[in-house]
Homo-oligomer: A and B are copies of this chain.
């Protein structure tokens, strides 16, 4: 999933943004490391260069994943959430001061910033809608359906889907318990909605029937 729908790395290639590139510092991150947490008040803006990065909320011993950033995604740390590297990778970071300066000087950056924020906002509204209106089964099928559409590969008349998530991680995206998600998924397997094909690899024989499971 492209979290914000806009690839900032591409944007940075534009000639108009020459001076913008200099503002960012590259920073290596190691798999599993928590890069930012809500308590530290240093405000940074960063773009994912390589690797995957998870944005999540934490409360006591529970976690809720808001989204997983991929190369090209931009994020700001002053939004009160945790940021964790899911793989070894690198970020382009800069502080908020520089961003403000850039916004004044580079109008294009400005528009992009607003666009990214708008996308993230839209995404969080759909998360709220899911949590408020739908049960876990609907959220699960909905998630699989969306992923199948955006990153599934057509194979054997069906769709193959590489999620690259453990059940636990998936449950944190859905806002549910590991056990519940595990049970629901296996129910879906028994009903033939999905077929398991190895570690976090799924085959969806008929996308249509998955869709009707989402909206009965």
A residues within 8 Å of B by Cβ?
Answer: 57, 59-60, 62, 64, 66, 76, 78-81, 100, 103-104, 107, 110-111, 113-114, 117-118, 120-122, 124-129, 131-134, 175
By secondary structure, the A interface counts as: helix
Question: A126–B129 Cα gap in the complex (Å)?
Answer: 14
Among the listed B66, B76, B111, which residue makes an inter-chain contact with A100, where contact means beta carbons less than 8 Å apart?
B111
Question: A131–B66 Cα gap in the complex (Å)?
Answer: 13
Question: A149–B88 Cα gap in the complex (Å)?
Answer: 44
Among the listed B59, B107, B129, which residue makes an inter-chain contact with A57, where contact means beta carbons less than 8 Å apart?
B129
Question: A110–B107 Cα gap in the complex (Å)?
Answer: 9
A125 in contact with B62 (CB, 8 Å): no
Among the listed B110, B113, B121, which residue makes an inter-chain contact with A79, where contact means beta carbons less than 8 Å apart?
B121
Q: Which residues of chain B come closer than 8 Å to A103, judged between CB atoms?
A: 107, 110-111, 114
Question: A103–B118 Cα gap in the complex (Å)?
Answer: 15
Q: Which residues of chain B come closer than 8 Å to A64, judged between CB atoms?
A: 128-129, 132-133
Question: A110–B112 Cα gap in the complex (Å)?
Answer: 11
Given contacts A59-B133, A125-B66, A133-B64, contact A118 B175 (CB under 8 A): no
Given contacts A79-B121, A107-B104, A110-B103, contact A131 B129 (CB under 8 A): no
CB distance from A136 to the nearest CB of B (A): 12
Given contacts A128-B131, A129-B57, contact A114 B117 (CB under 8 A): yes
Q: Which residue of B lies closest to A134 (CB)?
A: B59
B125 in contact with A79 (CB, 8 Å): yes
- 11 inter-chain pairs at a CB distance below 8 angstroms, sorted by A residue, are A57-B125, A59-B129, A62-B132, A64-B128, A78-B118, A79-B121, A80-B125, A80-B126, A103-B107, A104-B111, A121-B121
